[in-house]
Amino acid sequence: MAETIPATAPDAPPSTRHERVGWYFYDWANSAFYTSVITVFLGPYLTSIAKSAAGCASDDPCRGGRISLLGLDIAPGSLFPYMVSLSVFLTVFVLPLVGAVADRSARKKEMLALFAYIGSAATIGLLFLTGDRYLLGAGLLLVANISYGASIVVYYSFLPQIAGPEERDSVSSIGWAIGYIGGGLLLALNVAAVLFKDSLGLDTGDVARYSMVSAGVWWAAFTTIPLIRLRNRPPVAGPAQGPVLLDGFRQLWHTLRSLKAYPLTLFFLVAYLVYNDGIQTVISLSAVYGTEELKLSDDVLVPTILMVQFLAFAGALGMGALAKRIGAWKTILISLVLWTVVLAVAFRLPANQAVPFVLLGGGIGIVLGGSQALSRSLFSQLIPKGKEAEYFGIYEISDKGTSWLGPLLFGLAYGLTESYRVAIVSLLAFFVIGFVLLAAVPIRRAIVAAGNTPPERL
């Protein structure tokens, strides 16, 4: 889901409602990939393909089965989290550089088209993920997830050019909401396909594969709207001093060096990167856990994840109201406690029982939206004026689809124990450590040190 990256730039040139609607539609377009592919279908489906390659049946825990990946023998159940981790590890290096280049490019529409169409093409390529072609699935996941992240960064860079400082929150919020609606709508259509697969003459694997392909088609088709309606403008950061790629490297180095001048802001950023990595891992691997450990069918999993999408709205509103009474910092700390409860309950969930899983999904939805929205707003108060774009470029390396330590730990825990319950409970470390780090941030002093005025309640 797209988030706001505020940027300091000259006043935005006049933009029309026509152009802004075009900008909103990239959120609508790309959210289908994250919701239907990463969150719901690809994890369980790629795991089943890897099991087939290891000689195991789809309903077999495959204890002791192994597949080869980059010269290593790994458990089939570790393939998806390992590939998510690898793709994101590479993306962490790509995103800040892409952002720096985009800020200095006068051809951002072309950059957006390049990354969006590469990512959507890789997603559509999942149509050929059949039999035991797990390496094909792993490669396509790598390309699609990196392209997704890069396209989001370019998309963010349009915001300061289509909205002035006073309008930016409103414009970004509308895009965020439209993205949830778009991703949820396609997922709802895929839910219908799951529920009526017998009438359609499809099996579970076919529905999963076609649902992922539909996300790629959706992504590519709706990307044409922003490409038609947005217009290129002079670079926000001024023209590049020399080759644009080289200048992007210079800007990235400058951003990283400047963080040392604000250690308390950096302290908060580290805490956020830890606990948000845990949040993103729970979201991306919940379907794998439900399928492989709890033995739940897509008829249960997909509608539950769809429910989570819409409950996140209620959670964001409810936790936002709480933040007005006690402050964002305290509310985020409460949300991290709730996340630890979610994982503890997930560890104890009985297999083959849908109702407890659905109830847990409701809890995730309520806590999900608020913890992320409040983290962003709190971080915005810790950024020195005039450095918003630089600092949010680093912040966004832990956005949706960009967690890597969590999937890595999950994959290692499963590989060592062959237990998804151990793997899921291992993620408690991110919330416990994140809570301790966040609680240790002297938040009022950090806001003052950044040259900003603290709100009355923190």
Are 186 and 30 in contact by the 8 Å Cβ rule? The answer is no
- Is the pLDDT confidence value at 126 over 80? yes
- Is the pLDDT confidence value at 166 over 60? no
Are 178 and 313 in contact by the 8 Å Cβ rule? The answer is no
* Highest-pLDDT range among 30-44, 55-69, 374-388: 30-44
Residue 186 tokens, joined: 């396609």
- Is the pLDDT confidence value at 24 over 50? yes
Backbone phi, psi, residue 72, to 5°: -110, 145
pLDDT for 239: 56
Q: Please enumerate in sequence order all residues whose Cβ is within 8 A of that of 288, keeping only pairs 6 or more positions apart, or say none.
A: 43, 44, 47, 77, 80, 81, 420
Give the pLDDT band of residue 237 (cuts 50, 70, 90): low
pLDDT single digits (tens) 247-303: 656 666 776 777 777 888 888 888 888 888 888 888 777 777 887 778 877 778 778
Taking residues 415-423, report their average pLDDT: 82
Taking residues 18-47, report their average pLDDT: 89
**Strand partners for 67:** 74
CA separation for the pair 331, 375 (Å, rounded): 10
- Is the pLDDT confidence value at 153 over 70? yes
pLDDT for 160: 66
Instruction: Specify the long-range contacts of residues 422-428, CB closer than 8 Å, at least 24 apart.
Output: 423/289, 424/282, 424/285, 424/289, 424/293, 424/343, 424/346, 424/347, 425/343, 425/344, 425/346, 425/347, 427/278, 427/281, 427/282, 427/343, 428/340, 428/343, 428/344
Angle, helix 168-195 to helix 17-32, in steps of 10 degrees: 40
Percent pLDDT > 90 in the chain is 17
CA separation for the pair 37, 31 (Å, rounded): 10
What single letter denotes the amino acid at residue 13?
Answer: P
Taking residues 42-46, report their average pLDDT: 88
Give the pLDDT band of residue 386 (cuts 50, 70, 90): low
Taking residues 190-197, report their average pLDDT: 85
DSSP 13: P
CA separation for the pair 381, 29 (Å, rounded): 30
Are 159 and 4 in contact by the 8 Å Cβ rule? The answer is yes
Backbone phi, psi, residue 431, to 5°: -80, -35
Residue 290 tokens, joined: 């439900």
Give the pLDDT band of residue 164 (cuts 50, 70, 90): low
CA separation for the pair 358, 294 (Å, rounded): 12
pLDDT for 64: 63
- Is the pLDDT confidence value at 378 over 90? no
What is the enclosing helix (H) or strand (E) of 68? Answer: strand 67-69
Residue found under tokens 């950024």 = 383
* Highest-pLDDT range among 213-217, 241-245, 329-333, 345-349: 213-217
Residue 18 tokens, joined: 């026509």
Q: Please enumerate in sequence order all residues whose Cβ is within 8 A of that of 307, keeping only pairs 6 or more positions apart, or say none.
A: 358, 361, 362, 365
**Alpha helices (H) along 418-457:** 420-425, 428-440, 443-449
Note the pTM of the prediction, 2 decimals.
0.72
Phi-psi region of 71 (alpha: psi -120 to 50; beta: other; left: phi over 0): left
pLDDT for 296: 79
CA separation for the pair 140, 217 (Å, rounded): 15
148-162, 182-196, 391-405: least confident range: 391-405
Question: Measured over all CA atoms, what is the biggest interatomic distance in the chain, rounded to whole angstroms?
Answer: 63
